[in-house]
Every structure is written in C-alpha cells, then in structure tokens.
Homo-oligomer: A and B are copies of this chain.
Amino acid sequence: MPKIDVCLSPELIHLFDIKEKVVVIIDILRATSTICSILNNGAKEVIPVPDLEKAKKYLRKGYIVGAERGGKTIDGFSYGNSPFDYPSEVVKDKSIVLTTSNGTKALHLSKDADQILIGSFLNLNEIVNKIKTINKDCLLFCAGWKGHFSLEDSCCAGALVHYLSEHFELCSDSGIVTKDLYLQYKNDLMVMIKKSAHFKRLNHFGVNKDFDLCITQNLFNQVPFWNGSSIMLG
C-alpha cells in the first residue's frame, strides 16, 4: 500500500524526500483555487513564476500576468490572486502568468517530484481519483503563509487524507491532525475559514466572494498538473 504524508509548511519541505513521489500543492486562499478556476475557465495554461522580475518580463511580452503579494495585486499589474480576476472572456485559450506570495513558491520547491498536481476544495474528488489511479507515495504540500502553518491549506490536505485513507498508509502525525481538522469542519468549512488568520488578513480587502468560492467542494472535475514549465489540465 503506498504512503500518504502531509508537509505543513514550505519551511519543512526539506525534511521530505519528494523524488518518486506525487506532490499535491495546496494553497486554498488563493493560488491553487485560482489556478483551478483559470484552467476551468478555458485558459490554455498557467505559467507560475516565483518572483516579480520574471513576472514583469512576461508582462512586457504582452502576457496576461497576475501578481500578488500579501493579498494585494502588485502595482503595475492588472490582475491579482482572485479567481474572479480570470473569467472565461479574459483567459479563454490564453497563457496566464501568475506569481503569488506562497503558492507559486511551493510549486517551485516541488520541482524534483515525480508528478506535481494542483489541489483545492474545488477539485477535491478528482484529486482523490487521480491519486488513487497513480497509486504511488504521495505528499500533500500545504503552501501556508510566509512559512507558517495555515488552517485552510491543512484542512484541505486533511480532506485528501480522509478520502484516501482506505487506499494509502498514513505515516505521520501531520496526516492525523489534518484529517481530524477536516472531519471537524467538513460540514461547514466557512466556520473554519472565519477562524483562520488568512481570513482576518484578506477580509480587509473586500474579497468575501473569494472565500465562498474557495471552499466550494467539487465544482470542477479536472486536475491541473505542472510539467515543470506550465500548469495544464491533465
């Protein structure tokens, strides 16, 4: 039986051997939720970049570029980290470049993994099905916030642990605590979100509809994967 484990923060990723593993990146508020939305709305690909310099280069080449730090769209960019910034009429058949505070950094830290999937509540069931089909050791990688533990990312990781528990061996305490966390809040994820530090930070920016969307379970039925240069639906 393959193993499943949870990395609670990018600051802990060096403790895990990710080669040969399937890594699922989770950044609920909002990078991975937004990536799922962009691709579901018809974009050809999402190109994640770790820093603003690279994002500016793409901007000068005429790409649609989303750039966010600390919850806010960076000056000089027209798009941020909200799923609502990327409706179908904006993204259809286009390449979208994205740089965010935590999620795109976690992606680049996972580059040595065997396969890299983009996880969120929006595509929960399909992530579960995909991981079961691949049937290899799996690491759920919570993007967190500036290296800190994040309630909403961990809760989503716990959902995956829970729904995969019959098929994967759970081998760590981080898996147990995240599973317990999901089971505690699964019938009302908004209660969990409203407790989170990230809610308190983002709530000032008037992004309430983002919260509702980002905790909607199973809105989309495809799984984005990262091939090392761009993210596409698998």
Contact = CB atoms under 8 A, between A and B. Distances in A.
Interface string A1-17: 00000001101100100
A12 B11 CA distance: 7
Given A9-B12, A15-B11, A15-B146, A181 B171 contact: no
Contacts of A9: 12
Interface stretch (A99-107, A148-156, A214-222): A148-156
A227 interface: no
Nearest to A15: B147
A1 B49 CA distance: 41
Contacts of A172: 148-149, 197
Contacts of A195: 173, 176
A171 B195 CA distance: 10
A151 B177 contact: yes
A195 B8 CA distance: 18
A208 interface: no
Contact of A173 (B11, B147, B184, B196): B196
A150 B8 CA distance: 12
Copies in the complex: 2
Interface residues of A, number: 25
A88 interface: no
Nearest to A196: B173
Interface string A141-169: 00000111111001000000000000000
A230 interface: no
A73 interface: no
A111 to B, nearest CB: 20
A156 to B, nearest CB: 13
A181 B177 contact: yes
7 closest A-B pairs by beta carbon, nearest first, are: A151-B173, A149-B174, A15-B147, A173-B197, A149-B173, A176-B195, A11-B12
